Amino acid sequence: MTAPLLEIEDVVVEYPLRGFRQAPARVLHGISLDILPGETVGLVGESGSGKTTLGRAVLGLAPVTGGEIRFRGERISGIGTKARRALSRDIQVVFQDPYSSLNPAMTVADILTEPLVVAGASRADADRRVRDLLDEVHLPQDAGQRLPREFSGGQRQRIAIARALSRDPAVIVCDEPVSALDLSTQSRVLDLFIEIQERTGVAYLFITHDLSVVRHISHRVAVMHRGELVETGDAAQVTSDPRHSYTRTLLLAAPVPDPARQAARREERHRLAAARA
């Protein structure tokens, strides 16, 4: 049995509310989830389910007020900023919005070399690495001299992926990385994620609201609802034969591109809703 790469154990995230002695808002109610090396765990849920907050907790961007997160057995929640910075080599991120996640004033090469230069790489090494990275995400070599605004959404997301890959991380938190993209672009970017994973063995915590995306890319799927994990299992099982009623609701709510099957699905959803009422 492989030791998990990332262990999320009973994690609680609370945000203080305004006002004296006001109880804090609890966004995550004790989430436990493991990620193995080289594995994609899909995290599905609707807006407000806490899926993004869990990703931010792993990244150290959300306050973990209970439980802990371990990386290779070492606690990484609630550690100091210096220790956190050291983790940047291993834990990386690709955000949803390819428009605001790249600094509009920096060239692509500057965006890609920044993490390397911070880590102490020489300028020449960093430049060489940029060429490799652009190659890895299938962008042309001259992309480095351009600004983010010169690229389409899908290409920007490739730049964001290249930045995440720059220091060979062990795990990348992907927060809705394809949600803002057109359908055909979406499938190409997803295939890039898979290709990179097969080559480098990086693990993904893949956050999305779309069950078909998660089914395509994940080995295992975890479903979140109102700050709690309602179901975890293999991708095929969760996305085609869900056990939990909420997952079933989610699955039946997503329309399928086939009028006959969609009509059947709608019937089933209405039946399920009627049965519950």
Determine which residue in the list 255, 267, 268, 271 makes contact with another protein, applying CB under 8 A: 255
Q: Which of residues 60-89 bind another protein (CB under 8 A)?
A: 60-61, 81, 85-89
Size of the site for another protein (CB under 8 A): 100
**Residues in contact with another protein, shown as a per-residue x/- string from 130 to 149 under the rule CB under 8 A:** --------xxx--x--xx-x
36: tokens are 């193995």
d(CA 134, CA 72): 29
Residue of 53, 71, 95, 227 interacting with another protein (CB under 8 A): 95
| Interface residue with another protein, options 24, 78, 100, 268 (CB under 8 A) | 100
Closest approach, Cβ 75 to another protein, in A, equals 18
Q: Is 184 a binder of another protein (CB under 8 A)?
A: yes
Share of the chain residues as helix, strand and coil, in percent rounded to the nearest 5: 45, 25, 35
Classify the phi-psi angles of 21: left when phi > 0, otherwise alpha if psi is within -120 to 50, otherwise beta: left
Which of 77, 218, 232, 247 lies at the binding interface for another protein (CB under 8 A)?
A: 218
Nearer to another protein, 8 or 171 (CB): 171
Closest approach of another protein to the CB of residue 82, in Å? 9
Judging by beta carbons within 10 Å of its beta carbon (0-12, 13-18, 19+), is residue 105 exposed, middle or buried?
Answer: exposed
Considering only 9-17, 19-27, 121-129, 216-224, which stretch makes contact with another protein by CB under 8 A? 216-224
Site residues for another protein, 3-42, by CB under 8 A, read: 5, 36-40
- Residues 6 or more apart from 11 whose CB is under 8 A from it? 28, 30, 31, 32, 54, 57, 64, 66, 67, 68, 69, 77
204, 192 contact by CB (below 8 A): no
Cβ proximity to another protein: between 10 and 258 the closer is 258
Site for another protein in 192-211 (CB under 8 A): 192, 194, 197-202, 209-210
Task: Supply the DSSP symbol for 243.
Answer: S
Does the footprint of another protein cover residue 242 (CB under 8 A)?
no
Burial 157-170 (b: 16+ CB within 10 A, else e): bbbbbbbbbbbebb
Contact call for residue 267 and another protein (CB under 8 A): no
In angstroms, what is the minimal distance from the CB of 120 to another protein?
11
Neighbours of 143 (CB within 10 A): 20
The 8-class DSSP code of residue 239 comes to: H
- The answer to whether 119 contacts another protein (rule: CB under 8 A) is yes
